[in-house]
Structure 1
């Protein structure tokens, strides 16, 4: 009996070891992508029927089985946030303090890399720096790795990159300076990232070229991005991020932030420099089968601005000071400008005229206390329970916009704006705004108010179709065209 038992134990050990070796060397396991974990929790819902299970892993959800209420939409957003911010390196923990390594969405393709000058085919997936930028700064001592460097060139969400005329967004106000100065005296940097499903769709259809977009429209084919599916494809995702520069890295303050190393392009000096940045705002735009008008989720770091009923953060607010005083700023070329303390007022000068100073910001629309606030409490506590040191326990969902009724894609090209049933578009607050990205228009427009006016890329040879709807994505309008084509009448 003992010999039989020993034989069974030895046999099982050999089988287990063999299976482990085989599994470990499967091609799928060669990647550094962090494996799925077993941590999960229930997300707050108004009734058990609508509960959403949150899994802590790297599997970005394609959709929910159905969107029934605001709490489900909020929970879906938290699932997106967790999976998108999952570390790529399998040796890293979720949200480890002072971890500068990239998370999933940071490896998405930057807008300016996907849409190249003259509408040429972009670089392969995984490229993070435009070849044009790399060539432009080739003579500088600061080297850029096209597959690893985070290159930030936009000082406002609404800015136009003076090198390649790429606009991260077309939202208002467009007639005033829109940079945002933090309390540490630095300006914010912004970036737009597009996921693999978005990239593949553009490459497959040749939509990186404005002429091809117009050819498609002339053939009666609408531009409809791929939809995510429950337990299926992820669908098109567009990320917009706001980064604050780190001043004193030794401060324990930064153990509350997702940090990254970045190379920034200073439009005032025309030079590059390296810096450390902290994530303070994140928009997640996601097209799904149940939400073809996209899910619009936005997150912030909890120390940005005062919140109703919440104590002040231990290291002060990022964009608000109780001791604010007006500042006189000397401008290049002479003259001065006064930066006052009236909240949410755009600065009176451009960064090419003077260095940034702190701008006073408050939240105009309180975070929804019925759904978002309790869901935030629950998710922050669960993150702390599973990953006690995680920086992501210091982030919060601001709000989510979703459609209560299905508003399907159009089968033929239409002129913008999209005929959106706005009464079906729900959110916790009447107007959804992120204090780091809609700082000066928090009471004016909500996300879809602008994005329903998105269009395909303009092309002078076919101006009659310049206003064709671009499926809620302003990014697609950044496509350019061969200069020679513009001179020909179509």
Structure 2
């Protein structure tokens, strides 16, 4: 099916890594049980079969405030991990159906959970397809978060966000007058083809070796969505002619609702993958450029990764949780998938915090040990500088680099792995999950509050908050050291030149002007998801004191003045891809 746009104007394998790149020392034992807990936290209780089949699955209440006592934390990493799973169960439950079955009309109450079905129901292999009829372009079987506002609905090009999201029919308006009418739309709108403008990620179409032209392989595409609370807040303060000089997403002084953002990654499906029953699949829009016009197409995609970001009282920098489908690096038969990235740059430099000629180190705290992982040298993105480049001859545009194999450093924490096993056991005890696709998804990790990295791997007492310090999802943040083992900030030092050198500012504080954090929190050099999002301040002037940081790449000068987003196309020209390299870079 092709739709013409109207033109108007992980975890187990993560523990294996080359000994030449890592050094591990045990931590002094830190309790990960609830024996240290002094604050009631129902969301941190063990996951049981009853949690999996609750109808409807409740959204877990916000955790109490963390007491920042490294010797007696009131909330353990395992309890936060159970909280993350309870969120996953809630947001991946079915959305409420409204009985409407007509072309262009939403068949669900957007942002509202179904009170008659549960998480087990959405795990059916044919969940999405069984909700399709000949009368509607939408399926009436949607995950709750799939019905949230797409980023192009939050900021439609040329207009303000509009309408009551609960009853709004999806309609996507992009830059240059591109529009997908509601009669052609789907709830999943995969309009991003890069990992925040830094690289593209592919599965080889033949075996595990990249094609000569990587664009012939199976790309992973992305989308970003926001909850009704965040949608309504942005709608209430939006003024393209006079945008606010600063803003604070709810909960804030006047709105105690909670902002939720969801970033999802989807792989192109083959008939064999669909038949495997190991993926949540759905029809989704994606884009091509044909005869100079952007065209929307529809195909079946499989969910391979999802970030859930939730801002709550006492957690003003959002709590970041991320999940992966288990087959991205190895097949069910334990064969290498060949997953790889193409970087949109061919040079990388570090800031002055990394001595010239040295390989910087990322210190990973598993909860039982700390491991020092060395990153590539500054300079060219090639094997000589420490990158796992696939040998061979490949058709890459000038200034790009790769293919580079995606690796998962030993980032898995004991508590997260233990809680994943706990959830798997609960599913095994529940007949409704015998054939559920959700058996093949795992929590990767979570970040709850910002902190500085552990200073060494010596066996001193670690800060429990540094577990998952380098939080990343292998299909959403895949490049080392660009956005996988990331901390601090980034900057292109020569934006006006043809030659692009990415500068990783690993010593730059990335948590600034955030209300509700302890004193001197604005001096933290945070890593992983939270560190990256800490660069997403609006306005982006670190010297004015305006803020607080909003931790959302969706909100910036362009979107707040009506320019909206562009729809990334599958066959994007190299010149257009090059432009994306600057879109997410701060300062």
Task: Give the TM-score normalised by the residue count of structure 2.
Answer: 0.54
Q: Secondary structure at the match of 2:90?
A: helix
Offset of 1:189 from its aligned partner?
Answer: 0.7
How far apart in 2 are the matches of 1:291 and 1:348?
A: 48
How far apart in 1 are the matches of 2:308 and 2:90?
A: 12
Are 2:517 and 1:473 aligned?
no
Aligned residue in 1 for 2:229? 197
How far apart in 2 are the matches of 1:66 and 1:384?
A: 34
Are 2:261 and 1:238 aligned?
yes
Aligned residue in 2 for 1:392? 438
**8 A contact 1:455–1:466 mirrored in 2:** no
Q: Per residue, is there more helix in 1 or in 2?
A: 1
* CA spacing shift, 1:373–1:223, aligned 2, 3 Å: same
How far apart in 1 are the matches of 2:300 and 2:536?
A: 33
Question: What does 1:32-431 align with in structure 2 at a 5 Å threshold?
Answer: 46-47=33-34, 51-52=44-45, 54=47, 55-56=51-52, 57-65=56-64, 68-88=75-95, 90=116, 93-100=121-128, 101-125=141-165, 126-131=168-173, 136=178, 144-145=182-183, 148-159=186-197, 173=198, 178-184=199-205, 185-204=217-236, 206-207=237-238, 209=240, 211-214=242-245, 217=246, 222-226=247-251, 235-248=258-271, 252-253=275-276, 255-267=277-289, 270-305=294-329, 313-314=332-333, 316=335, 318-320=337-339, 343=388, 360-369=405-414, 371-386=415-430, 387-403=433-449, 422=452, 426-431=465-470
How far apart in 1 are the matches of 2:542 and 2:317?
A: 26
Q: Secondary structure at the match of 1:117?
A: coil
**8 A contact 1:457–1:466 mirrored in 2:** no
- CA deviation map 1:307-333 (0-9, x unaligned): xxxxx6237455549xx9xxxxxxxxx
How far apart in 1 are the matches of 2:153 and 2:532?
A: 24
Aligned residue in 2 for 1:407? none
* CA spacing shift, 1:375–1:360, aligned 2, 3 Å: same
- CA deviation map 1:48-76 (0-9, x unaligned): 65751543344323412455111111111
Question: What does 1:5-20 align with in structure 2 at a 5 Å threshold?
Answer: none
How far apart in 1 are the matches of 2:283 and 2:303?
A: 11
Q: Per residue, is there more strand in 1 or in 2?
A: 2
How far apart in 2 are the matches of 1:434 and 1:428?
A: 15
**8 A contact 2:447–2:469 mirrored in 1:** no
* CA spacing shift, 1:145–1:352, aligned 2, 3 Å: farther
Pairwise CA RMSD = 4.1
**8 A contact 1:113–1:127 mirrored in 2:** no
Offset of 1:279 from its aligned partner?
Answer: 0.6
Offset of 1:183 from its aligned partner?
Answer: 3.1
Between 86-95 and 292-301, the greater mean CA deviation after superposition: 86-95
How far apart in 1 are the matches of 2:177 and 2:451?
A: 46
Q: Secondary structure at the match of 2:242?
A: helix
Offset of 1:422 from its aligned partner?
Answer: 3.6
Structure 1: any 5+ residue segments left out of the alignment? 1-43, 160-172, 307-311, 325-337, 404-419, 484-490
- CA deviation map 1:425-471 (0-9, x unaligned): 8253341111111101322331222222222267xxx9997974442
Structure 2: any 5+ residue segments left out of the alignment? 1-30, 67-74, 98-115, 129-140, 206-216, 342-380, 454-462, 488-527, 564-587
Task: Give the TM-score normalised by the residue count of structure 1.
Answer: 0.64
Q: Secondary structure at the match of 1:157?
A: coil
Are 2:532 and 1:450 aligned?
yes
**8 A contact 1:110–1:192 mirrored in 2:** yes
Aligned residue in 2 for 1:334? none
